[in-house]
Amino acid sequence: MKMTKTRQTHSKRGLISLLASLLSIAIGLLVGFALLNVLNANHAVNGFGKILTTGFATSEKFAKVLYQAMPLILCGLSVAFAFKTGLFNIGAAGQYTMGAFSALAVAIALQQPWYIALLAAALGGALLGAIPGICKALFNVNEVITSIMFNWITMYAVNLTINNMPIMLTNFWSRSSIKDRTAPLADANPSAMLPKGGLDTLMNSNYINIGIFIAVLVAIIMWVVLQKTVLGYELKACGYNRHASQYAGINAKRNIVLSMVISGALAGLGGGLYYLSGTGQYTLVKVLLGMGFNGIPVALLASSNPLGVIFSALFVSYIQVGGDALQPHFIKENIDIIIASIIYLSAFALLLKGWIAKLLLRSSTVKDNPELAEALGAEESGVSEGNADTEPPVRGAEKEDAQ
Amino acid sequence: MSDYVIEMVGITKKFPGIIANDNITLQLKKGEIHALLGENGAGKSTLMSILFGLYQPDAGVIKKDGKVVRIDNPNDANRLHIGMVHQHFKLVEVFTVLENIILGAEQTKNGILQKRDARNKVLALCDQYGLQVEPDALIEEIGVGMQQRVEILKMLFRDNEILIFDEPTAVLTPQEIDELMNSMRGFAREGKSILFITHKLNEIMAVADRVTVLRKGKGIGTVNVADTTVDELAEMMVGRKVSFETKKTDRRAGEAKLRVQNLFVAGRNNGKDKVTNVSFSVRGGEIVGIAGIDGNGQTELVQALTGLMPVSRGHVYIGDAEVTHATVRQHNNLGLSHIPEDRHKHGLVLDYTLGENLVLKDYFEPQYQRGGFLRFDEIYRHADALIDAFDIRSGQGANTVARSMSGGNQQKAIVARELALSPDVLIAVQPTRGLDVGAIEYIHQQIIAARDSGRAVLLVSLELDEVMNLSDRILVIHDGEIVAEVDAHYATAQELGLYMSGASKQQANLESGVEA
């Protein structure tokens, strides 16, 4: 009896999250369509169709969706995991870069197989994640500031290092004169490429490999860690209410560092997976890699649920693949704007959740159902985590009075 | 012209799953002090929030001087000359008294603030009503009593005619309460009408003309204070006969279980000592109460004793073990339980379920985890046992999210968790803050039961009645120092009040001979 009740409440809360995510996606798509009309009205309908259908059009395109989703899942997990524990890891971009570098250095310079390289990627990301974590825990420096700075520090440091490691560059391994990017793994160390497991012939694509399974597996593990373990209990307690976790004797400082380390390792692993696929080469340009930032909308769209991240990453990847098919009717920059609008508006899920909850609250179904109302109440106030310290607003105080 | 300045007729306000106000009628006469009495959750705050424009009623009307009015927000309320002193003051800490009073009603000339007229008006009001404030002091530098006078002056400055006081005496010493009541009588004489929200019956008897009692969202009735008694009011409020006596047997104190020697604790903000040279001990089987006005070092003392704040100097022992610089968990493992001052900030993870909250301090014990995985079946079995034993009520038992529980039941959950740890030492801080009479009775019984089973109890409370009823010995803290120790049996509120205000610190030291 008790169990079924809980499950109902949980499923209702889940329903609101799902509803919010779907509505956000719809809004994002609408704005995207409007932009298509503005930029090139003649091909708007056609283009919109392409965005929506390309990902499923051929098995090759679908392979591309999975391929891009793989690092997105991990970057999304990275951000989501930090969110769950009350931290905003905006440094996923840097940690992703660090992961990519660590993986490639181990694969090319040290000639190690893919699994060692992947471990190195996670380790690299973890080390970089530890820095903002330590700064926050010991000196109370806001992690957003440190991790943003480390995005840039990492990018320049990695570029500088690769530049000074001739063995890493393309021209070391082949007769080409290209020296602004790392060597293709097929030339430098084929054993460092992620195994394809026969998927390439099945889907007729060079992009697909077992990386997507690794990503999904990691997402499931993260869900288990957060939901079922002592570690997850402590981390979430720190995230929900730092003061109460200190009061309970939980070592909040250790947990902040640990959380950032795990978050960094996830982003690093994402970088490793992407560059160990063998299809991408790290290019020495002074631009932050967007993948880490795209982890933010992925995490928001999934309401920071690790399992939800799998699907939101697939969605974002799907839209990106669809966007690529807009050429030549739309120029690359415009496509980026359209796709970015869809993705970022989709991340409104979090805002919409409170709004939907309020809307449902007014409808009679909820009124007769205090359980759902409770669930909504909890969700609503969960959004404004920042208020936890301050005095409860009159509304919050009233809620207590009323019950 | 109507007899009443304010009438709230047939007010109904529903929240999901609950009717907070069910057809309540409240009529306020001009120049009267009208008390609004009810337990927590009776609907007092909801009703006042409606009058102040924070909520819209689902049914019913509000009349001002007999005319129906609409109050959509606090600005409307202000235009109708309705003012409110909130329980938690709404003051800007880094502004001066004067700046706070004029905030929102500033007079300007060509966009430049004109303070002189405002200052004169404020000074005139101070004189007229005998309210002492220092116009140029910063809020953060003045005491709670003066802060409250600033709140009152805010209403007077805006020429408010209807003054709402929400639990105004909770933060005051007995002497300050007397002053406040005199001020309230003064306002009433000047023709202002006062709504006085409280759950303290003796205050109503002392100052109010009439009283309206609410219970569980319903209006129970309005009576003339002159025609009623404390017992009658209590019965109206709670719905049954209430005993105010806390029964307890004589103390059988044993060995000292908590010892504090020459303790100094530096404040968080400026490093100034908030606790200075405090020494005392608590023996098994006794309740030691710490009385004092809010902000005199109680919070820092408790946080230092529990490991939440560092100790600058001195020693703390639990049993024979020194815990001066121990972590919170080391304290807990040595048998310390702590009912914290702020149940939302420290006591609970509000987004966790009741079950998860009930193991907040021992989730890592082998009982509740195996190989790093939580044993939810055990956690929920434990929770169900405590829910039964402590009568914790919630929508879905152990699966209820703590945030959705009532304050009383949240507090019961904390008390249950802390007592279930079978502590040697229990530090209870404001254990009944904001709770209704039933819950207060229950928690008091539990604390006395803990004492009778040989635990050492340190009770820190701002409610003097609570300290006096429960304690065996009372220590009075003022400005970070223990200024007096008295046997609870012989203590009077007036005497304690004097010590609390620091007026006779030297005298207190001489009389009780507390030198560390």
Residue scoring higher pLDDT (A192 or B175):
A192
Q: CB distance from B356 to chain A under 8 Å? A: yes
ipTM of the complex: 0.77
Instruction: Assess whether A196 and A284 both reside in one domain.
Output: yes
Question: A287 lies in a domain?
Answer: yes
Kindly state the DSSP code that residue B141 receives in the 8-state scheme: G
Question: B247 lies in a domain?
Answer: no
**Which of these, B434, B67, B241, B331, lies nearest to A248 by C-alpha position?**
B331
pLDDT of amino acid A152? 95
Instruction: Assess whether A142 and A189 both reside in one domain.
Output: yes
Question: B373 lies in a domain?
Answer: yes
Residue A401 confidence (pLDDT) above 60: no
Q: CB distance from B403 to chain A under 8 Å? A: yes
Cβ–Cβ of A241/B41 closer than 8 Å? Answer: no
pLDDT band at A384 (very low <50, low <70, confident <90, very high): very low
Q: For residue A5, what is the nearest residue in chain B, using CA coordinates?
A: B396
Parallel/antiparallel/unpaired status of strands B82-85 and B162-166 = parallel
CB B276 within 8 A of CB B481: yes
**How far is the C-alpha of A88 from the C-alpha of A313, rounded, in Å?**
19
Parallel/antiparallel/unpaired status of strands B369-370 and B336-339 = unpaired
Candidate ranges A199-208, A373-382, B9-18, B208-217; pick with highest mean pLDDT:
B208-217
pLDDT of amino acid A350? 65
B90: number of Cβ within 10 Å: 12
**Which of these, B98, B70, B91, lies nearest to B82 by C-alpha position?**
B70
Percent of chain A residues past pLDDT 70, beyond the cut? 85
Question: B245 lies in a domain?
Answer: no
pLDDT of amino acid A382? 33
Long-range contacts of A102-107 (CB under 8 A, 24+ apart): A102/A268, A102/A271, A102/A272, A103/A192, A103/A271, A103/A272, A103/A275, A103/A276, A104/A162, A104/A168, A104/A182, A104/A275, A104/A282, A105/A165, A105/A168, A106/A192, A107/A185, A107/A188, A107/A189, A107/A192, A107/A276
Q: Of A228-237, A374-383, B70-79, which gets the smallest average pLDDT?
A: A374-383
Final residue belonging to a domain, choices B238, B265, B287? B238
Cβ contacts (< 8 Å) between A367 and chain B: which residues?
14, 16-17
Instruction: Assess whether B282 and B209 both reside in one domain.
Output: no
**How far is the C-alpha of A68 from the C-alpha of A274, rounded, in Å?**
8
* Partner residue facing B49 (CB), from A229, A391, A394: A394
Instruction: Find the largest Cα–Cα distance for chain B.
Output: 77
**φ/ψ (deg, to 5) at A299:** -65, -40
3-state DSSP assignment of residue A331 = coil
Q: For residue A2, what is the nearest residue in chain B, using CA coordinates?
A: B396
**CA dist B186 → A318, B166, B193, B206 (Å):** 73, 18, 11, 14
Instruction: Assess whether B296 and B322 both reside in one domain.
Output: yes
Amino acid type, B37:
L
Cβ neighbours of residue A332 under 8 Å, at least 6 residues apart? none
Question: A341 lies in a domain?
Answer: no
**Tokens describing residue B514:** 């507390």
pLDDT band at A360 (very low <50, low <70, confident <90, very high): low
pLDDT of amino acid A388? 32
Q: Of A64-68, A201-205, A367-371, which gets the smallest average pLDDT?
A: A367-371
Burial of B150 (0-12, 13-18, 19+ CB in 10 A): buried
CB B369 within 8 A of CB B375: yes
pLDDT band at A383 (very low <50, low <70, confident <90, very high): very low
Total domains, chain B: 2
CB B241 within 8 A of CB B235: yes
Cβ contacts (< 8 Å) between B350 and chain A: which residues?
240-241, 378, 381
3-state DSSP assignment of residue B147 = helix
Question: A390 lies in a domain?
Answer: yes
Cβ neighbours of residue A220 under 8 Å, at least 6 residues apart? A306, A307
Q: What is the mean pLDDT of residues A9-14?
A: 60
Instruction: Assess whether B233 and B277 both reside in one domain.
Output: no
Q: CB distance from A221 to chain B under 8 Å? A: no
Cβ neighbours of residue B104 under 8 Å, at least 6 residues apart? none
Q: Of A94-98, A102-106, B138-142, which gets the smallest average pLDDT?
A: B138-142
pLDDT of amino acid A387? 32
* Partner residue facing B403 (CB), from A228, A378, A389: A378
Instruction: Assess whether A200 and A75 both reside in one domain.
Output: yes
Using alpha carbons only, give the angle B38, B42, B47 rounded to the nearest 5 degrees.
95
Q: CB distance from B328 to chain A under 8 Å? A: yes
One DSSP character per residue, B378-435 reads HHHHHHHHHHHHHT---TTGGGSBGGGS-HHHHHHHHHHHHHHT--SEEEEESTTTT-
Q: Which domain holds residue B152?
A: 4-238
Instruction: Assess whether A254 and A129 both reside in one domain.
Output: yes
pLDDT of amino acid A11? 57
pLDDT of amino acid B380? 94
Instruction: Assess whether A249 and A199 both reside in one domain.
Output: yes
**How far is the C-alpha of A279 from the C-alpha of A71, rounded, in Å?**
13
CA torsion, ordered A34, A40, A45, A50, to nearest 10 deg: -100
**Which of these, B147, B155, B181, B231, lies nearest to B35 by C-alpha position?**
B181
pLDDT tens sequence for chain B (516 residues)? 568 999 999 999 987 767 889 999 999 999 999 999 987 778 888 899 899 988 899 999 999 998 999 999 888 999 999 999 987 788 998 999 999 999 888 888 888 888 888 999 999 999 988 888 889 999 888 877 889 999 999 999 999 999 999 888 877 777 888 889 999 999 999 999 999 998 788 889 999 999 999 988 899 999 999 999 988 988 888 887 766 666 677 777 789 999 999 999 998 777 788 999 999 999 999 999 999 887 789 999 999 999 999 999 999 999 999 999 999 999 999 999 999 988 888 999 999 999 999 999 999 999 999 999 999 999 999 999 999 988 888 878 899 899 888 777 899 999 999 999 999 999 999 998 767 777 788 889 999 999 999 999 999 998 888 899 999 999 999 989 999 999 988 888 888 988 888 765 455 445 444 443
**How far is the C-alpha of B14 from the C-alpha of B12, rounded, in Å?**
7
3-state DSSP assignment of residue B236 = helix
**CA dist A321 → A28, A55, A62 (Å):** 16, 6, 9
Instruction: Assess whether A163 and A238 both reside in one domain.
Output: yes
pLDDT of amino acid B214? 92
Kindly state the DSSP code that residue B35 receives in the 8-state scheme: E
Q: Which of B54, B331, B351, B400 to mutate to test the interface with A (most CBs of A within 10 A)?
A: B351
Q: What is the mean pLDDT of residues A133-139?
A: 93
Using alpha carbons only, give the angle B383, B394, B54 rounded to the nearest 5 degrees.
140
- List all residues of chain B from 7 to 46 with a beta carbon under 8 Å from chain A: 14-18, 20, 40-41, 43-46
pLDDT band at A13 (very low <50, low <70, confident <90, very high): low
**Which of these, A221, A93, A209, A248, lies nearest to B337 by C-alpha position?**
A248
Instruction: Assess whether B204 and B81 both reside in one domain.
Output: yes
**Which of these, A258, A218, A219, lies nearest to A235 by C-alpha position?**
A258
Instruction: Assess whether A36 and A61 both reside in one domain.
Output: no
Question: B250 lies in a domain?
Answer: no
pLDDT of amino acid B373? 95
Percent of chain A residues past pLDDT 90, beyond the cut? 48
Cβ–Cβ of A248/B328 closer than 8 Å? Answer: yes
pLDDT of amino acid B200? 82
Cβ–Cβ of A381/B403 closer than 8 Å? Answer: yes
Q: Say which CATH number the domain at B408 has.
A: 3.40.50.300
Instruction: Assess whether A283 and A226 both reside in one domain.
Output: yes
Cβ neighbours of residue A375 under 8 Å, at least 6 residues apart? A9, A12, A13, A16, B401
Instruction: Assess whether B208 and B76 both reside in one domain.
Output: yes
Total domains, chain A: 2
pLDDT band at A98 (very low <50, low <70, confident <90, very high): very high
Question: B62 lies in a domain?
Answer: yes
Final residue belonging to a domain, choices A278, A296, A329? A329
Q: CB distance from A386 to chain B under 8 Å? A: no
**Which of these, B343, B365, B344, B336, lies nearest to B424 by C-alpha position?**
B336
Average pLDDT, chain A: 83
**Which of these, A76, A78, A87, lies nearest to A252 by C-alpha position?**
A87
Question: B244 lies in a domain?
Answer: no
Q: CB distance from B364 to chain A under 8 Å? A: yes
Q: CB distance from A243 to chain B under 8 Å? A: yes
Q: Which domain holds residue A396?
A: 1-40+350-403
Q: What is the mean pLDDT of residues A363-389?
A: 37
3-state DSSP assignment of residue B493 = helix
Question: B45 lies in a domain?
Answer: yes
Instruction: Assess whether B228 and B279 both reside in one domain.
Output: no
